[in-house]
């Protein structure tokens, strides 16, 4: 079979490579991949950011996917051939303190699909059955491929934020996690505004508008005037920083009201700012990382109800056979949630 792999420690350097069809080991099942998404971390691998230096190249990337079980390994009992599944791609060790207290998402020794071992941009994967999650019957396979990023937004909003009915919410960053977070915060009753920068004006901010949100282009609009109109100058009750940029936190501090909450979802790297104003304003600074079993359950309910509009959100224009186009368009802000038809790699 073929797989799309990162082959060198440089920008781009993605190639189709030959891989043997894997055999499921004890407690594993073989999954035939139908659809796989492209997310910010995949783009980070494409650009080869420092966080991915640990990768042992070549590695087939991709961790957001929907597939179906085609073969069972020894002692695998949770699924049957034909079952449709997604993977919870951060695999905890099961032994460390965090795993033992139910915080597998921050396991000390976690491995990540598509980073630490081959991922979903190939025809088949052998996966430990406990890492898989069943897809509800009424969720289309292409939509199920975005369950994993939806679960991240669900954790950020439902588990780690205090968004409630009538709260004024700002989501910084109209990327995939940002627009999923916005939809979920709206479903929780928040009055949501989405902000972006200049390169978001072509595709991502119009997509946010199509999803029903008022938007702010911080390159052209006056955020202070918009904040005055939306909040009476008080500031937003909750600000989600999904930008993954060092400026996200500093701008969130400017936008949040005194006594409000900032939820950091994007991994911003290093930033410098005075923190005393946060203390004096009693700002709640909360981090949110990845997701767990319950977050996947919530993500499927959100997709089934239409609170997450996958039909509008998913972009199926791109092919793994010409992946550079998809990645370069994503990096430039010309798409938000590409989902690939992986069956092309089996043709």
Tens of pLDDT, residues 178-200: 999 999 999 999 999 999 999 99
347: pLDDT strictly greater than 80: no
What number is the average pLDDT over the span 6-16? Answer: 96
pTM of the shown model: 0.96
**Strands 14-18 and 284-287, how do they pair?**
unpaired
Residue 84: how many other CB atoms lie within 10 Å: 20
Residue 99 sits at φ, ψ, to 5 deg, of: -65, -40
What number is the average pLDDT over the span 69-85? Answer: 97
Q: Residue 267's pLDDT is what?
A: 86
Q: Which two tokens stand for residue 43?
A: 């783009």
- Collapsed DSSP state (helix, strand, coil) of residue 323: helix
Q: pLDDT > 70: what percent of the chain?
A: 100
Is residue 100 within 8 Å of 40, Cβ to Cβ? no
Q: Residue 244's pLDDT is what?
A: 87
Summary mean pLDDT of the chain = 95
Q: Residue 227's pLDDT is what?
A: 87
Q: Residue 8's pLDDT is what?
A: 96
CA–CA distance, 47 with 70 (Å, rounded to integer): 34
The model's pLDDT over 302-343, given as tens digits with 9 standing for 90+, comes to: 999 999 999 999 999 999 999 999 999 999 999 999 999 999
Residue 224: how many other CB atoms lie within 10 Å: 11
37-66: b (≥16 Cβ within 10 Å) or e = bbbbbbbbbbebeeebeebeebbbbbbbbb
Is residue 27 within 8 Å of 76, Cβ to Cβ? yes
- Collapsed DSSP state (helix, strand, coil) of residue 35: strand
Q: Which helix (H) or strand (E) holds 264?
A: strand 256-264
What number is the average pLDDT over the span 121-142? Answer: 97
The model's pLDDT over 84-116, given as tens digits with 9 standing for 90+, comes to: 999 999 999 999 999 999 999 999 999 999 999
What number is the average pLDDT over the span 151-173? Answer: 97
Kindly indicate the confidence band of residue 51, based on its pLDDT and cuts at 50, 70 and 90. Answer: confident
> Poorest-confidence range of 14-23, 39-48, 221-230?
221-230
The model's pLDDT over 26-38, given as tens digits with 9 standing for 90+, comes to: 999 999 999 999 9
User: HEC states along 76-117?
Assistant: CCCCCCCCEEEECCEECCCCCHHHHCCCHHHCCCCEEECCCE
Kindly indicate the confidence band of residue 54, based on its pLDDT and cuts at 50, 70 and 90. Answer: very high
224: pLDDT strictly greater than 80: yes
Q: Residue 89's pLDDT is what?
A: 97
């Amino acid at each position: 079979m073929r797989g799309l792999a990162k082959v060198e420690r440089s920008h781009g350097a993605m190639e189709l490579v030959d891989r043997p069809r894997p055999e499921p080991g004890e407690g594993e099942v073989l999954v035939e991949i139908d659809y796989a998404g492209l997310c910010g971390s995949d783009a980070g691998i494409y650009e080869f950011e420092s966080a991915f230096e640990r990768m042992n190249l070549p590695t087939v990337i991709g961790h957001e996917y929907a597939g179906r079980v085609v073969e069972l390994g020894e002692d695998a009992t949770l699924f049957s051939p034909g079952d449709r599944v997604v993977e919870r791609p951060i695999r905890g060790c099961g032994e460390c303190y965090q795993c033992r207290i139910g915080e597998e998402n921050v396991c000390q020794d976690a491995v990540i699909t598509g980073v630490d071992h081959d991922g979903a941009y190939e025809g088949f994967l052998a996966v430990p059955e406990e890492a898989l999650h069943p897809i509800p019957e009424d969720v289309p396979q292409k939509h199920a491929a975005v369950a994993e990023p939806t679960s991240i937004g669900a954790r950020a909003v439902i588990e780690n934020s205090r968004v409630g009915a009538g709260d004024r919410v700002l989501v910084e960053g109209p990327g995939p996690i940002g627009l999923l977070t916005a939809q979920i915060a709206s479903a929780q009753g928040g009055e949501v505004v989405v902000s972006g920068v200049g390169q978001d004006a072509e595709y991502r901010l119009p997509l946010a508008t199509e999803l029903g949100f008022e938007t702010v282009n911080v390159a052209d609009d006056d955020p202070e005037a918009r904040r005055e109109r939306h909040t009476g100058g008080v500031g937003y009750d909750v600000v989600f920083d999904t930008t993954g940029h060092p400026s996200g936190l500093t701008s969130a501090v400017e936008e949040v009201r005194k006594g409000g909450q900032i939820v950091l979802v994007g991994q911003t790297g290093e930033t410098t700012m005075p923190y005393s104003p946060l203390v004096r304003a009693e700002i709640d600074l909360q981090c949110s990382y990845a997701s767990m079993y319950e977050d996947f359950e919530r993500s499927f309910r959100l997709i089934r109800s239409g609170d997450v509009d996958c039909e509008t959100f998913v972009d199926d224009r791109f092919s793994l056979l010409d992946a550079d186009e998809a990645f370069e368009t994503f990096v430039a802000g010309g798409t938000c949630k590409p989902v690939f038809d992986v069956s092309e790699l089996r043709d």
